[in-house]
Amino acid sequence: MRCPFCGHEDSQVKDSRQTEDGTAIRRRRQCEGCAARFTTFERISLRDIAVVKSEGRREPFERDKLYRSVSIACSKRPIDPTRIEKLVSGIQRQLETSGESEVEANRIGEMVMEALKGLDSVAYIRFASVYRDFREPGDFEDFASNVKQMGEE
């Protein structure tokens, strides 16, 4: 594993542990060149998935990109980071076990919205505002009133 600090090719694993949700192995490493310590994560990848964007362009599925977008929607909310991790891992697992090698970006967006709906209504609205491209205050009002009605049912 290449050191992120000095670029040295070799590092030594000092500690390995499973993550709390059991979907990855966390490894503490020490560079043999500069002695700096860093952490890596090892995850199971069942298959490579291509995300088909709305304009038809394809790009590889990036778990970190999905995690960042969900984290932004959940920022400053009382949500434990392990719940965000589980949400993202669950979506990734669904995609990998679907048997499809390509998935539409809007399908991933809908999966995230469905998961956030059960997690936190504010995070759900935040994600929806970007995903559905709200342009005016009325768009927020309409969507938020629908969310409020769902919560009252």
pLDDT tens digits, one per residue of 45-73: 667 899 999 899 999 999 999 999 999 99
Same domain (yes/no): 33, 54: no
pLDDT tens, residue by residue, 134-146:
778 777 777 777 7
Q: Quick one: 73 and 146 in the same domain?
A: yes
Please give the Cα distance from 124 to 137 (Å, whole number): 16
Count structural domains, the chain.
2
Domain co-membership, 82 together with 35:
no
The confidence band for 39, taking pLDDT boundaries of 50, 70 and 90, is very high
Mean pLDDT over 129-136 rounds to: 81
pLDDT one-digit tens code per residue, 93-106: 899 888 899 999 99
Q: What is the mean pLDDT of residues 111-115?
A: 95
Which residues are CB-neighbours of 142 under 8 A, at least 6 positions away? none
Q: Are 132 and 113 in contact (CB under 8 A)?
A: no
- Distance from C-alpha of 150 to C-alpha of 35, rounded to nearest angstrom: 54
Q: Which percentage of the chain shows pLDDT scores above 70?
A: 95
Q: Quote the distance between the C-alpha of residue 105 and its chain's center.
A: 13
Checking if the pLDDT of 151 tops 70, the result is no
| 69 and 111 assigned to the same domain | yes
Q: Please give the model's pTM, rounded to 2 decimal places.
A: 0.69
